[in-house]
Amino acid sequence: MAYPLLERIDDPAALRRLERAELHQLAQELRAFLLESVSKTGGHLSSNLGTVELTIALHYVFDTPEDRLVWDVGHQSYAHKILTGRRADMARLRMLGGISGFPRRAESPYDTFGTAHSSTSISAALGMAQAAKLKGERRRVVAVIGDGAMSGGQAFEAMNNAGVMDLDVLVILNDNDMSISPAVGALNRYLARLVSGRAYRLARRAAQKVLSNVPPLWELAKKVEEHAKGMVLPSTLFEEYGFNYVGPIDGHDLDTLIPTLRNLKEASGPQFLHVVTRKGHGYKLAEADPVLYHGVSKFAPEAGIVGSGKPGAKPTFTQVFGDWVCDMAERDPRLVAITPAMREGSGLVEFERRFPERYFDVGIAEQHAVTFAAGLACEGMKPVVAIYSTFLQRGYDQYIHDVQIQNLPVRFAIDRAGLVGADGATHHGAFDLSYLRCIPNITIMAPADENECRQMLYTGFLLDTPAAVRYPRGTGPGVPVEREMKALPVGKAQLRRSGRRVAILAFGTMLQPALEAAESLDATVVNMRFVKPLDEALVVEMARQHELLVTVEDNVVAGGAGSAVAEGLAARNIAKPMLHLGLPDRFVDHGDQKLLLAMAGLDAEGITAAVEMRLRALHATSLVSVK
């Protein structure tokens, strides 16, 4: 497909040379290119289709990258990437060696801040604006924050701070959770231009100067202004934080966006623009089901996404959790499920349908999710927090302070542990074993297969102390899931293969590649199951019976499960050659999940090669000792 205007845009400077009348055609071409490109690579679709006009307007009005532009959450930045010289790179979006699906500072000077998690843009924008002020530089700083990201507490912490800093920063709320309402019409477009314009600002400043000597009159004037705005605007909440609120306006109307942004570009102090967009705009299938088209695999645009999987396909670990939590809720009316805005991703769609009164989506507010669960546990409820490994990091203080210190029986179903694939370093669950096992009171389980995942979830639910079950994205080895739930003996590992010389202690889904490697190595293999408490008796036995202990985990080696094994042996004064295999001490890039695991040496071939190399080194050392 030809894109005559878009193909002329290799940077925003070229965009700014276009005539205003050409921007509407550019928007059509950009939207068509997005659909064509993402349908071939997979990625975030509906959110990006909704930000086409807004992206064009921002780069048309502001002098990027000199003016700073921060996207939040960053998965809505594909149009931004295309207009900033990465159109050809979209063919390798989220692939190994290709561009990221999120803004990335190392990738482009136009990506001013990495925002793969949410609610950070206003804080970052304030920092940038303050730095410009301290250095005496004149530049504009814009934060584009989605309505979902506005549910995160950090966004309001930053706005509270912005109100007293008097910095030239513009916050744009991209409100895409509703269709364009009747209020977003001619009157609102007129008011947006009015209250963002220079005449209004000058009149307001003059009134403030005259009336500030008579505080009661100034306060009365402010209230009259607020009430006048409140008659046609949704809320004065943002003005209470010290922002000049403008909007809401149609985020797909370039003829309104551009003059409003030009007015706000010249305004001083904190400004807040509320734009209303529609997810999937311009592609009817995505408009009708923006959730289905939020994150997509490859598909044919003319046919749309067809089906949800092959009949009889292996269930994912997420689906195993979703089935278990519904089954458990039928048994125990005290079970409540909590998610920080990840209903679909965490497998809670069916739970919400069947148990709506016991389902709580708290928004992108991981800290609140954890403490909310702690409060429920205090009153005898049995909360289950379904959360991604990388998102639990954001509630770490609450995890320690509110759950662990009080030893409350909150259960954490930690999805996306290990390497997740295309979303990359910001979403890999590379650290949870390290940051969890150092905390007292916790039980940490890592299932090797689908059935073990179900039984571990049940085991954790029965405990009167905090418990976590962590499992990876995608499917397991295909072990049939037993409907009957049986509690596992806490802290007990399982011997899966007997061999000689080498004992491989496998954690979680690393069991399968460990078993494959063991065939050529004739090694013993233990399915460790529990990271904490560790089966130290069996670890000691393995150490005494073998020349080399090997630990394998899909977590960073530093402080992980292998470290727990080494610490246990050291505490018993047992010296044994060890090999710790896990994720490297660096941030792993995006790419195919299996390929990334292989590159980390966590497939059967990698394990075999690493063990053989260590055995050769041990043999060489022993020969030197004999000499």
- Quick one: 176 exposed, middle or buried, by C-beta within 10 A (0-12, 13-18, 19+)? buried
| pLDDT tens digit sequence for 267-279 | 999 999 999 999 9
| pLDDT tens digit sequence for 139-155 | 999 999 988 888 888 99
Asked if 533 and 490 count as a contact pair (C-beta separation under 8 A), the reply is: yes
Residue 350 has pLDDT above 80, yes or no: yes
Q: In this structure, are strands 494-497 and 524-527 parallel, antiparallel, or unpaired? A: antiparallel
- Say which of 31, 68, 382, 394 is annotated catalytic: 394
pLDDT at residue 238, rounded to an integer: 81
Residue 226 has pLDDT above 80, yes or no: no
Helix (H) or strand (E) holding 436: helix 432-437
Catalogue the E-assigned strands of 343-481: 359-361, 382-388, 411-417, 443-445, 467-472
Catalogue the E-assigned strands of 64-210: 68-72, 141-146, 169-175
- Say which of 366, 450, 452, 553 is annotated catalytic: 366
Q: Among this protein's residues, is 394 annotated catalytic?
A: yes
Asked if 189 and 249 count as a contact pair (C-beta separation under 8 A), the reply is: yes
Q: Among this protein's residues, is 366 annotated catalytic?
A: yes
Alpha-carbon distances, residue 240 vs 100, 124, 156, 226 (angstroms): 37, 21, 12, 10
Contacts by residues 329-334 (CB-CB < 8 Å, ≥ 24 positions apart): 329/354, 329/355, 329/358, 332/382, 332/461, 333/358, 334/380, 334/381, 334/382
| pLDDT tens digit sequence for 547-589 | 999 999 999 999 999 999 999 999 999 999 999 999 999 999 9
In this prediction, residue 191 has a pLDDT band, given cuts at 50, 70 and 90, of: very low
Name 508's Cβ contacts closer than 8 Å, sequence gap at least 6: 417, 418, 446, 447, 448, 470, 471, 472, 553, 554
- Say which of 279, 473, 532, 614 is annotated catalytic: 279
Tell me which of 146 and 413 has the higher pLDDT: 413
pLDDT at residue 178, rounded to an integer: 43
In this prediction, residue 230 has a pLDDT band, given cuts at 50, 70 and 90, of: very low
